[in-house]
Structure 1
């Protein structure tokens, strides 16, 4: 796995793994269920991903959106490709909703709703809450 994936807590944050992508729990939760969709490739530019990664991405996005809809019943979903600190291709997947959502003892409001996500107001997870949310979300991906 590339350094960006490891920086986002892999393997402890791993929710789903595909041939070219991993889905990770985002360690800081601006909204409940926030994820990182990260390419396994060493690419640091979107265009540099192998064609097979683009082909697989559609199915991975469908699985993410179905799982998060079941988990947090989002109203909108944001995919942010920032890559300012972590250089390898990845997206921050932020489910958006009015109000708060809670699971496994973690409650997170969408402080930016209905505008841009308030990434700076994220709830930071400790190891126990990370483990609990990973297990909870894995259940939604399996279904």
Structure 2
């Protein structure tokens, strides 16, 4: 299960930061600029199966995510969605939300669903664009 999950979300190539228990990677389908996947490193299909150390470490990585994305893209609010309907692995879709358009990489990025539920389908970007976005974020990590 973990191999398929990591492949689906291209985690090895798009990892931006990791802690002892969690990995933050760029989401291949950008619901909004900077959208990511926050996933537990070990195989686990139920949130209630997390141990205390993993819960504590979740707090640590969320602080890194929020500080970093605030610095890089100035999001307005952060959405964390734990759906797990298809991918039975503990993970969150991390969706920064923007009231106003964001200019990055010579493009204007719109949060088309603001202020409603995010459009998770997002846009599947070319590998080079995903790499550029992930490197921008990775190079400005605030831990």
Normalising by structure 1, what TM-score? 0.92
Preserved contact between residue 64 and residue 142 of structure 2 (Cα < 8 Å): no
Residue in structure 2 matched with residue 40 of structure 1 by the alignment: 41
CA distance in 2: counterparts of 1:142 and 1:74, whole angstroms: 15
TM-score in terms of structure 2 length: 0.92
In structure 2, runs of 5+ residues without a counterpart are: none
* Structure 1 residue runs without a partner (length 5+): none
Structure 2 partner of 1:85: 86
SS in 2 for 1:79: strand
RMSD: 1.7
**Cα offsets for 1:64-111 (capped at 9, x unmatched):** 000010111111110000111111000000001113223234542101
Give the aligned partner of residue 63 of structure 1. Answer: 64
Matches of 1:18 and 1:140 in 2, distance apart? 16
Q: Distance in 2 between matches of 1:82 and 1:135?
A: 27
**1:128 to 2:128 alignment:** yes
| Count of paired positions | 142
Partners of 1:32 and 1:102 within 8 A in 2: no
Specify the SS of the correspondent of 1:92: strand
For 1:22 and 1:106, how far apart are their aligned partners in 2? 28
**Offset at 1:119?**
1.6
Contact 2:2 2:89 in 1 (8 A): yes
CA contact (8 A) 1:106 1:129 kept: no
Where do 4+ consecutive residues of structure 1 move more than 3 Å? none
Aligned to 2:74: 73
